[in-house]
Homo-oligomer: A and B are copies of this chain.
Amino acid sequence: MAVGILTGGGDCPGLNAVIRALVKTLQQKLPEEKIIGFLDGFRGAIENRSVPLTTKDVVGLLPKGGTILGTSNRDNPFKFPISVNGTLEFHDVSDTVIENLHKNNIEVLFVIGGDGSLSIAHELSQKGVKVIGIPKTIDNDLDATDFTFGFDSAVRTATKALDMLHTTAESHHRIMVLEVMGRYAGWIALYSGLAGGADVILIPEIPFNWDAVCRKIQQRKAEGKHFSIVVVAEGAYPEGGERVIARYVKESTDPARLGGIGQVVADHLSRCTGLESRVTVLGHLQRGGGPTPFDRILATRFGVAAVNTWLQGNYNVMVAFLGGRVTTVPLSEGIKKLKLVPVDSELIVTAKAIGISFGDE
């Protein structure tokens, strides 16, 4: 018999560390079991493209970003895009996936992915496939787990960027705006803003008031601080306005696209304060680089726990990190809702106590 592994959705530091932990644990506990890695997310399961995996294949993977199995953003087997006479139609090819799993004698499929991939995994489980989910999201917006790997690495990268922008801000007396990921949830903006010494943090959970933001910068100017650091989540938007990001969802999957909210904020603040402003869109750098120690460890814990829960006879569950412990929750629970930043959470209160503005007062 065999187990299958695939990685789906946007890439993220720690995917390789999970693969390594799965393979190492499986080979130690079930040395006879074959391990098959499907390539490029569910696309490999649809097209039956895969590679065998042994411990030799995972040497050196722990500190390496990305995923050796490849991934894909557009590979939902329940709505698979197929070009028919020049028009794109969406077909349900989930039976092909199931067939390919049978062909490969797959007992259980470990799906490492975000919201989208875990939903597909859940749908497959409804059709009888045994799956174990391993949650992954840069944005940290899965409600069923306190943290996912990748988030700490993204926060590190964004914080590093803020540290770097500080010197230019001070030297030129400028407003430096950093646009970070977060369409619906502002976790990266909040954490990196706190860690990187931001003066203003704008997140989707708190529609901001233009006057309040300008006032904050002007107040700093009045105190003799002629520079300011602003962190903006890509999904942030002004009160009464709408998300600039909205068009990405339709047209593009690219957060580095032009004309995002970061630029809008920089232009507005420049006008209302008379200070020069500059915007930096961090974009894909947030997904890059090796995982931090925290993410390496969390990814490893998730990988080991996923194997152990399966060996204990569980399936159609997702591993999760809750209250400092790795545990499991039903897959159906795991994907039910987004975890937004609570507007009255201790982190927001902390940020406000040291003078950070969220543009809401």
Could you tell me the distance in whole angstroms from the C-beta of A91 to the nearest C-beta in chain B? 21
For A164, what are the chain B residues with a Cβ–Cβ distance below 8 Å? 65, 157, 284-285, 288-289
Q: Is the CB of B173 within 8 A of A40?
A: yes
Rounded to whole angstroms, the CA-CA distance of A170 and B64 in the bound complex is: 12
A154-181 interface bits toward B, Cβ cutoff 8 Å, 1 = contact, 0 = none: 0111010101111110111100100000
- Does A122 reach chain B (CB closer than 8 Å)? no
For A53, what are the chain B residues with a Cβ–Cβ distance below 8 Å? none
For A353, what are the chain B residues with a Cβ–Cβ distance below 8 Å? 21, 24-25, 28-29, 304, 307-308
Q: A65-B167, A280-B284, A288-B168 given as contacts; is B293 within 8 A of A354 (CB)?
A: no
For A280, what are the chain B residues with a Cβ–Cβ distance below 8 Å? 256, 281, 283-285
Could you tell me the distance in whole angstroms from the C-beta of A144 to the nearest C-beta in chain B? 15
Number of this chain's copies in the complex: 4
Rounded to whole angstroms, the CA-CA distance of A253 and B284 in the bound complex is: 24
Q: Mark the stretch among A124-132, A230-238, A322-330 that contacts chain B.
A: A322-330
- Does A272 reach chain B (CB closer than 8 Å)? no
Q: Mark the stretch among A82-90, A94-102, A192-200, A211-219 that contacts chain B.
A: A192-200
Rounded to whole angstroms, the CA-CA distance of A15 and B301 in the bound complex is: 30
- Does A52 reach chain B (CB closer than 8 Å)? no
Rounded to whole angstroms, the CA-CA distance of A43 and B322 in the bound complex is: 42
List A288-313 residues whose CB lies under 8 Å from chain B: 288-289, 292-294, 296-297, 300-301, 303-305, 307-308
- Does A191 reach chain B (CB closer than 8 Å)? yes
Could you tell me the distance in whole angstroms from the C-beta of A58 to the nearest C-beta in chain B? 10
Rounded to whole angstroms, the CA-CA distance of A259 and B260 in the bound complex is: 12
- Looking at chain A's contact residues, the main secondary structure is helix
- Does A62 reach chain B (CB closer than 8 Å)? yes
Q: Is the CB of B354 within 8 A of A296?
A: no
Rounded to whole angstroms, the CA-CA distance of A307 and B349 in the bound complex is: 13
- Does A140 reach chain B (CB closer than 8 Å)? no
- Does A273 reach chain B (CB closer than 8 Å)? no
Interface residue total, chain A, C-beta cutoff 8 A: 85
- Does A186 reach chain B (CB closer than 8 Å)? no
Could you tell me the distance in whole angstroms from the C-beta of A147 to the nearest C-beta in chain B? 9
Q: A165-B288, A172-B71, A294-B294 given as contacts; is B323 within 8 A of A194 (CB)?
A: no
Pick the contact of A288 from B70, B167, B323, B349 — CB < 8 Å?
Answer: B167
A350's nearest neighbour on chain B, judged by CB, is B304
A36-62 interface bits toward B, Cβ cutoff 8 Å, 1 = contact, 0 = none: 000010000000000000000000101
Q: A195-B296, A346-B301, A355-B24 given as contacts; is B173 within 8 A of A70 (CB)?
A: yes
For A24, what are the chain B residues with a Cβ–Cβ distance below 8 Å? 353-355
Q: List 8 A-B contacts (CB under 8 A).
A: A11-B168, A40-B173, A70-B171, A167-B289, A168-B288, A194-B297, A195-B296, A324-B324
Known: A21-B354, A159-B293. 11 other contacts (CB 8 A): A11-B168, A62-B196, A62-B197, A67-B171, A70-B171, A73-B172, A161-B288, A165-B285, A196-B293, A256-B280, A304-B353
